[in-house]
Structure 1
């Protein structure tokens, strides 16, 4: 799932040239997209020759705007209620509010067609809201014009699957809404299916397979205290107390594999995952004890030692095996994903943000890393392959806001 959320405020003339597509992957998309899906085209959208990269922002009072990173133009999209959190799939922004989730369409996206990519631009828009009670956990795929988007509301227990194709046409359509026992759970889209967590006494215990029409498939897997989900090229990952589930579709059937943690491990389970978008290896913190790496191709976990107290990790999964970590003292560490050795590090770039209780967002791209510095009002571009060199830094003019990298 895409969750590249950058917490900083945009200056009107801020300019960033982000890296484009990743290298050609070996695996087909795990979420069900193919040529027959129209290559990601939508009526009214223009196909263009390069990624339409941008930063779509939501200020604390709900003002939504989009900065085009190609020509530096800024578009005012509109206003939504004040947001308390946000998730993105690289096109849509799903903003948590007091009454549910507001959806913003940035109007720019990339379609992954395995051996090449298609790039699109359309008019940005505020699509409306999905009502729900309590904190919403949102799960997306790597495709923004097909499949589903899952929302799980903690207080009401509602499990909602949205039609992502309808979103691409400007419509909010619920494929299903299932009432469950309230809990902090998940609704994870997998092709034309979804895995929905179920709870007992307020704690998730299992995930159950559903069709897009809300019919149970008969698939049920134990997953105690589910937390953290991400979609790789191999499948959708769901974190559980004893390991992870890897879900994919084979021959039009929903399949789930269990990847347990190594025998004898005492390290805490990963509660979230991050990586360079779509890559098969994902990373998550093992509490304060280390770093979990999950290779979804090999179905294998690796536990690396933490070189320092960490706030966040993300797997680059490139040929050189880079792993990026944000230390609690504000440094970005470039690590070796085989042995955990620190290869390079920055100065403490976001110490003030972390001291204020704000966790900056660290994004891994094919060639660069991007680090938000909310309290410092800066955005840093880091060349992690060149000794963690600060390639560029940009000042921002206002207080921190939720910002998503869109168009990829």
Structure 2
């Protein structure tokens, strides 16, 4: 996968809960992300008893490093081009550089088998480049199966990468389509992907392409599509009036609309973020608002933080924590159920010039990089947003993510 001390701090939120409109069909069973072969095993990697959590960092010049969060050891992996953006699925880092999208394999991953997990540890490596320009990257739930989508807005090239090949160290394109240049996306789904369709540069809908790039079925309406994420339930794509949720049943794709609720006038969601493979995700709504989308219940809720925010992430844990990075550099913790602010840190990062600053959340901790100081803060968000550790990384964390998830 965004300065100043505020004059006033709002300690609570206004919460409105609504249900999705549209289909009356009963929700489909949650997707089984662990349906691939071999439970995520790859030749040369070791299966271990616990997740191999690391911080993988990239500095301004492209030097890649890795810090083991369990053992405390660190290493430098290599060097790519100078990045302008980085996305991740919890194993790979997809870095947009002057050559296109360069891919870093952290060598650490988790296979989600639905009711249990398998954990693997391998060697980090640089895999190669998907040639193109500025890119939008969308990832799936598994690093050794399925696919990753890359869309180059300037050229209109829609690319689908084979994750099984990535796991074997090869950058292999399942398809590369030439479509109308626009601000689009390729969202991995099933054996293929949803690709935005544009008319005169404006997105009107989504087409489902199989692994060969052929269109299957009719276009799915989704005006001005923006933002996509894979949840435990299915694939979400944001639209001007809500979201499309794509699910599979007996190998057949299905598409549901989750409309924004009536009676709430709030800016739409443009990008989604949440703990990996959880059903509920979060999105900014204008400057101070937060949309929460529960894909299991097909419902939206809206919070008003009352302070300007830069990023929001749904932890979707048992206590329903929602985390936000405000524009003063504080991490704030809210309760999704009633909108109450539970905790806030002091300002931790200067956001006046910090393109790669990111807030990453797992089941127990949140991580926030401070590029100017060369550190990443580890935050116990369930314990009053306590700073558990301040970690020095082997390369400056201009961009980073937590890998092994």
Q: Are 1:407 and 2:404 counterparts?
A: yes
CA contact (8 A) 1:267 1:289 kept: no
Specify the alignment match of 1:172 in structure 2: 171
CA contact (8 A) 1:345 1:387 kept: yes
**1:233-272 superposed matches below 5 A:** 233-272=232-271
Question: What is the CA distance between 1:239 and its match in structure 2?
Answer: 0.7
Question: What is the CA distance between 1:51 and its match in structure 2?
Answer: 1.3
Q: CA separation in 1, counterparts of 2:237 and 2:45?
A: 33
Specify the alignment match of 1:117 in structure 2: 117
Question: What is the CA distance between 1:63 and its match in structure 2?
Answer: 1.8
Q: CA separation in 1, counterparts of 2:172 and 2:30?
A: 24
Question: What is the CA distance between 1:287 and its match in structure 2?
Answer: 0.9
Specify the alignment match of 1:13 in structure 2: none
**Residues 329, 65 of structure 1: alpha-carbon distance in 2 compared, 3 angstrom cutoff:** closer
Question: What is the CA distance between 1:74 and its match in structure 2?
Answer: 2.7
**1:146-165 superposed matches below 5 A:** 146-165=145-164
Specify the alignment match of 1:189 in structure 2: 188
SS at match of 2:39: helix
Specify the alignment match of 1:354 in structure 2: 351
SS at match of 1:167: helix
Specify the alignment match of 2:45 in structure 1: 45
CA contact (8 A) 1:138 1:152 kept: yes
Q: CA separation in 2, counterparts of 1:330 and 1:145?
A: 36
Scaled by the length of structure 2, what TM-score is found? 0.89
Q: CA separation in 1, counterparts of 2:319 and 2:200?
A: 46
Question: What is the CA distance between 1:373 and its match in structure 2?
Answer: 2.1
Structure 2: give runs of 5+ residues left out of the alignment. Answer: 3-27
SS at match of 1:156: coil
Aligned residues between the structures:
380
Specify the alignment match of 2:19 in structure 1: none
CA contact (8 A) 2:357 2:398 kept: no
**1:303-314 superposed matches below 5 A:** 303-314=302-313
Q: CA separation in 2, counterparts of 1:165 and 1:137?
A: 21
**Residues 29, 43 of structure 1: alpha-carbon distance in 2 compared, 3 angstrom cutoff:** farther
* Residues 337-376 of structure 1, C-alpha deviations (whole Å, 9 max, x = no match): 12322122111222xx213354631122222222222234
CA contact (8 A) 2:58 2:396 kept: no
Q: CA separation in 2, counterparts of 1:397 and 1:162?
A: 29
**Residues 191, 32 of structure 1: alpha-carbon distance in 2 compared, 3 angstrom cutoff:** farther
Question: What is the CA distance between 1:404 and its match in structure 2?
Answer: 1.9
Q: CA separation in 1, counterparts of 2:397 and 2:315?
A: 26
SS at match of 2:216: strand
Question: What is the CA distance between 1:334 and its match in structure 2?
Answer: 1.2
**Residues 367, 400 of structure 1: alpha-carbon distance in 2 compared, 3 angstrom cutoff:** closer
**Residues 166, 231 of structure 1: alpha-carbon distance in 2 compared, 3 angstrom cutoff:** same
Q: Are 1:391 and 2:388 counterparts?
A: yes
Q: CA separation in 2, counterparts of 1:185 and 1:391?
A: 39
Q: CA separation in 2, counterparts of 1:78 and 1:396?
A: 14
SS at match of 1:145: coil
* Residues 140-194 of structure 1, C-alpha deviations (whole Å, 9 max, x = no match): 1110000111001000000000111111111111111111000110100112121
Question: What is the CA distance between 1:109 and its match in structure 2?
Answer: 0.7
Structure 1: give runs of 5+ residues left out of the alignment. Answer: 6-26
Scaled by the length of structure 1, what TM-score is found? 0.88
**Residues 84, 31 of structure 1: alpha-carbon distance in 2 compared, 3 angstrom cutoff:** farther
Specify the alignment match of 2:34 in structure 1: 33
Q: CA separation in 2, counterparts of 1:32 and 1:337?
A: 25
**Residues 328, 136 of structure 1: alpha-carbon distance in 2 compared, 3 angstrom cutoff:** same
Specify the alignment match of 2:8 in structure 1: none
* Residues 264-320 of structure 1, C-alpha deviations (whole Å, 9 max, x = no match): 432111111111211111111111251101000010111111231111111111222
Question: What is the CA distance between 1:399 and its match in structure 2?
Answer: 4.7
CA contact (8 A) 2:57 2:395 kept: no
Q: CA separation in 2, counterparts of 1:329 and 1:58?
A: 24
Specify the alignment match of 1:225 in structure 2: 224
CA contact (8 A) 2:288 2:307 kept: no
CA contact (8 A) 1:31 1:248 kept: no
